[in-house]
Amino acid sequence: MANSSARPPRSDRRRNHERLLAVATDLIACDGAGVSLEEIARRAGVGSATLHRHFPSRRALLEEVFHEGVERLCGRARELGRDDPGTGLATWLEELTLYTTNNRGLATSLMSGAGELPPEDTCHGMLLDAADDLVARAVEAGVARPGVSAADLIVLTNAISLATEGDPATAGRLLRLALEGVHP
């Protein structure tokens, strides 16, 4: 499937990619996802054209920045699904909310499901897959109503993080509210 005639990337390319990613991670963590791309390039010591060559859109950059953390969250979902089908979903959603709330910009990155990148190694796709399984188990265990979909839950936690960005306490409270419901 992959074009095997492609030569491995040059060493300077790899080096710059790493540098950009590292700087972007730092800057996004402290200033949010709206940070200036020029600034990232500047601090990484590369021209702005190089940044745009490596990451054709802000979205693409964010996807790579958060890839590792999202992968960890997916692993955690598998773990919880295996060990604790009962409260696993709730626990995972709480962890997800905490992560997206603390990583200003992930929520933004998750927003638009469809993009120009490959279908299912976007953060959104990865989390969706992980959640699907967890939700199925939860419904099976009778701790989640049959109607709920993983997609909706992802969007909901995403929404909460987006609106409470930087305030984990409120985010957690809203998530629990949504899980328990407003009606008694």
- Among residues 4, 118, 145, 169, the one that binds a copy of itself under rule CB under 8 A: 145
Contact 92, 80 (CB under 8 A): yes
Secondary structure (DSSP) of 8-67: PPPHHHHHHHHHHHHHHHHHHHHH-TT--HHHHHHHHTS-HHHHHHH-SSHHHHHHHHHH
Quote the least distance from Cβ 49 to a copy of itself, whole Å: 25
Residues making contact with DNA (CB under 7 A): 7-13, 16, 36-39, 45-50, 52-54, 56-58
Quote the least distance from Cβ 68 to a copy of itself, whole Å: 24
| Closest by CA position to 25, among listed 97, 125, 103 | 103
Buried b / exposed e along 155-177 (16+ C-beta atoms within 10 A):
bbbbebbbebbeebeebbebbee
97 binds a copy of itself (CB under 8 A): no
174 binds a copy of itself (CB under 8 A): yes
143 binds a copy of itself (CB under 8 A): yes
178 binds a copy of itself (CB under 8 A): yes
Residue 117 buriedness (CB in 10 A; 0-12 / 13-18 / 19+): middle
183 binds a copy of itself (CB under 8 A): yes
At residue 156's C-alpha, the angle toward residues 150 and 158, to 5°, is 105
156 binds a copy of itself (CB under 8 A): yes
Quote the least distance from Cβ 156 to a copy of itself, whole Å: 5
177 binds a copy of itself (CB under 8 A): yes
The mark string for 42-81 relative to a copy of itself (x by CB under 8 A, - otherwise) is: ----------------------------------------
CA pair distance 7, 57, nearest whole angstrom: 24
Binding site for a copy of itself (CB under 8 A): 89-90, 107, 111, 142-145, 147-148, 152-153, 155-156, 158-160, 162-164, 170, 173-174, 177-184
